[in-house]
Amino acid sequence: MPDMPSIDLAGKKVLVTGGASGIGAAVVDLFLELGAQVSSADLQPHGAMEPDTVIRFQADVCVEQDCLRATAGAIDAMGAIDVLVNCAGIPDTYTPTLEQSTQSWQRIVDVDLTGTYLMCKAVGAHMAQRRSGSMINISSIVGLGGFPRRNAYGASKAGVIMLTKSLASEWGSLGIRVNCIAPGYIRTPLVETLIRENKVDTGQIERRTPLARLGHPREIAHAAAYLSSEWASFITGATLPVDGGWSAFGGAGDIGIA
């Protein structure tokens, strides 16, 4: 194996969903810094946090034609897609199950699970033709253990983990690696808003987390860059918790959104 002193994504063609804000925006920024060419597909037509060098597409990942159109547009603009990072998603309503509407359940499943599936399917057809590619799906620690009042989100994020394993098993012979990241409590703009509104108890999160803090979107981007790179060339079907040790510590807690 060649010596690889640092992660280098120079020349990589990358499509990021949900790239206009939060974890997706951090992935876009870091991948550009590491030399990649980046396209972003997001429901927001113009993400305020996206650099001018990003190729933007408006897309709803729940709509298969939008996924196909964004994929085709990225291929036309960049010539290929080497890496797909699925960051698009919505949080849950943190509602007791007996008060939850079927519509709320379905919306979360549609975006967080079906949207990931549709993007993997659209880009997978292209990568299969090239017999090369890497996909990174974003799950959550809520997909690793039971969290009260978070059934739709937990089921969706657990589904993303199993989808990742299934695709990795199916597409490995085609040269496609598929991996997953399970973030813990991350200081995204959404979480910062919930903190200001006293809907998330950071003190409780910090006490429950072995590293005693919330994470930053950039730290999820670091994991995505690693899994996209040649450093991870023999890794597929894996789920990497990036959670400050939360999932290692023990049982889940009923304290907020992750």
What pLDDT digit, counting tens, does each position of 144-188 carry?
Answer: 998 898 999 999 999 999 999 999 999 999 999 999 999 999 999
Condensed to tens digits (0 to 9), the pLDDT of residues 103-127 reads 999 999 999 999 999 999 999 999 9
Tell me what pLDDT residue 6 has. 81
Q: State how far the Cα of 237 lies from the Cα of 160, in Å rounded to an integer.
A: 11
Q: Residue 140 has what DSSP assignment?
A: -
Cβ partners under 8 Å of residue 112, min gap 6: 89, 90, 153, 156, 157, 160
Q: State how far the Cα of 236 lies from the Cα of 168, in Å rounded to an integer.
A: 6
Tell me what pLDDT residue 1 has. 45
pLDDT of 93 > 90? The answer is no
Average pLDDT, the chain: 92
Q: Please name the residue ranges forming H helices in 64-150.
A: 64-78, 102-109, 115-130
92 — pLDDT class (breaks 50, 70, 90):
confident
Residues classed as catalytic: 153
Order of strands across the sheet that contains 133-138? 55-58, 37-42, 13-17, 83-86, 133-138, 176-183, 239-242
How remote is the C-alpha of 51 from its chain's centroid?
19
Condensed to tens digits (0 to 9), the pLDDT of residues 178-189 reads 999 999 999 998
Helix (H, G, I), strand (E, B) or coil at 14: strand
Please return the burial class of 102, using the count of CB atoms within 10 Å of its CB with bins 0-12, 13-18 and 19+: exposed
* Domain 13-185+216-247 CATH assignment equals 3.40.1280.10: no
108 closest CA partner among 120, 97, 123:
97
Instruction: Extract the tokens encoding 153.
Output: 């989100």
Condensed to tens digits (0 to 9), the pLDDT of residues 207-248 reads 999 999 999 999 999 999 999 999 999 999 999 999 999 999
Element (H, E) at 236: none
**What number is the average pLDDT over the span 123-133?**
99
Q: State how far the Cα of 211 lies from the Cα of 81, in Å rounded to an integer.
A: 36
Q: Residue 177 has what DSSP assignment?
A: E
Condensed to tens digits (0 to 9), the pLDDT of residues 11-70 reads 999 999 999 999 999 999 999 999 999 999 999 866 555 567 899 999 999 999 999 999
Exposure b/e, 59-93, CB count within 10 A at least 16 = b: bbbbebebbbbbbebbbeebeebbbbbbbbbbbbb
Domain coordinates of the chain in residue numbers? Answer: 13-185+216-247
